Amino acid sequence: MEQNYFDQGVEKARQGDLVGAIAAFDQALQTHPQSATTYHRRGLARFNLGDLAGAIADYTQALQIQPDFSEGYFARGLAQMAQHQLQAALKDANQALQLNADHAAARHLQGTLHQRLGNTQTAIASLKQAAQLYLAQKDAENGRRCLETIQQLQSVLIQRSKTQSSALQLVQTEDFFQQALDKLQQGNYRQALEDFNWLIQVEPQNARAYCYRGIVRSRLGNPQAAMQDLAQALQLTPQDDQMRLSRGLLRIELGDCWGAIEDFNSLLQQNDRNPGAYCYRAQAYSKLGNHRQAIEDYSRALALQPDAAEIYCDRAAARFAFQDQRGALEDYQRAANLYFDRQDWNRYRVILDKIKPLQTAQASARVDPAPH
């Protein structure tokens, strides 16, 4: 009976019914609680549902039962990386390789972790070994990904050796800009304002810093200062499409959605292959409650950038507002697939949290009888 439940769990997981798979593995473990393979399989299902803590607990249980289980160490390392526990993840990747030196995915994971930890030379060495293992196993796609990452890392090393001090300053400034942008997106407007102020002091000709500081000031209730910043950004780069896009975005922030739409229309008349203009115009239409037009603009943007997970998320939100739950679910799932392929686990988990209630609603709609 235990084997039947296990097989059911494997099949349900294959079909994408992860909740059903977990329930089947639960039943299997009730009759055979010392099955490392079953804990591992349940951990995989939990991981794919975004339950990283539950997945790690299952992998750990599997390893307690079977300490020489290389797949268990690899899977736990992957989940720990998703939780930003990089050192613990690296330890597990190393252990998986000690047990199975030909484990290509574990070697790939090891290289990725060294890359994130800043160990560029070590990362390159691991990724070279991973690429060789993938190619030996006829896995050309993953082999190609390793080689592309190696080329990127080698380019970074070459650039550093040529202009180390200036490159370091540039990277630090760009990193600081990204941190400020993250604070803006998270709603930490006061901290973001301080960061953009600092950037403008360091780089007085940084048009992007003026532009985003204007957005922050707008959200802090200072529209006059926001417009001054935007004017400065446009003065520095009057023909820059990004600054013109940002002007439209700021007009949305100020509640002037029709004015923003006019700006985006003007941009699109000059270049109808500008996905940013379509996306921002879609935001303006959504603010006006014209969700159908927003969906059309997001679709135009996706025709130009078919792998843009963020645009799928935005179109999903517009479809949900348009009462198209099925379309919203499809778009969120496409976004989740793209984030999974990129190994962007944080965004992957966020999208899973959006998918679950939609799946529940769809299931209820199929089960509940129609009213008479």
Please write the tens of the pLDDT for every residue from 151-192: 888 887 776 665 444 444 444 567 778 888 888 888 899 999
CATH architecture of 256-365: Alpha Horseshoe (1.25)
Domain segments of the chain: what residues?
Answer: 2-162, 164-239, 256-365
Give the pLDDT band (50/70/90) at residue 371.
Answer: low
Neighbours of 158 (CB within 10 A): 9
> Is residue 37 over pLDDT 70?
yes
Residue 60 is predicted with a pLDDT of: 96
> Is residue 196 over pLDDT 70?
yes
Element (H, E) at 6: helix 2-15
Alpha-carbon span 74 to 367, nearest angstrom: 39
CATH architecture of 164-239: Alpha Horseshoe (1.25)
> Is residue 245 over pLDDT 90?
no
Residue 366 is predicted with a pLDDT of: 66
The alpha carbon of 187 is separated from its chain's Cα centroid by a whole number of angstroms, namely 19
2-162 and 256-365, same CATH topology: yes
Q: Please write the tens of the pLDDT for every residue from 60-104.
A: 999 999 999 999 999 999 999 998 899 999 999 999 999 999 999
Contact 182, 189 (CB under 8 A): no
| Mean pLDDT, residues 326-338 taken together | 94
> Is residue 46 over pLDDT 60?
yes
Alpha-helical segments (H) within the chain: 2-15, 18-31, 36-48, 52-65, 70-82, 86-99, 104-116, 120-136, 140-162, 164-185, 189-202, 207-219, 223-236, 241-253, 257-270, 275-287, 291-304, 309-321, 325-342, 345-367
| Mean pLDDT, residues 41-47 taken together | 93
Q: Taking all residues of the chain, what is their mean pLDDT, rounded to a whole number?
A: 88
> Is residue 215 over pLDDT 80?
yes
Q: Phi and psi at residue 220, in whole multiples of 5°?
A: -90, 5
CATH architecture of 2-162: Alpha Horseshoe (1.25)
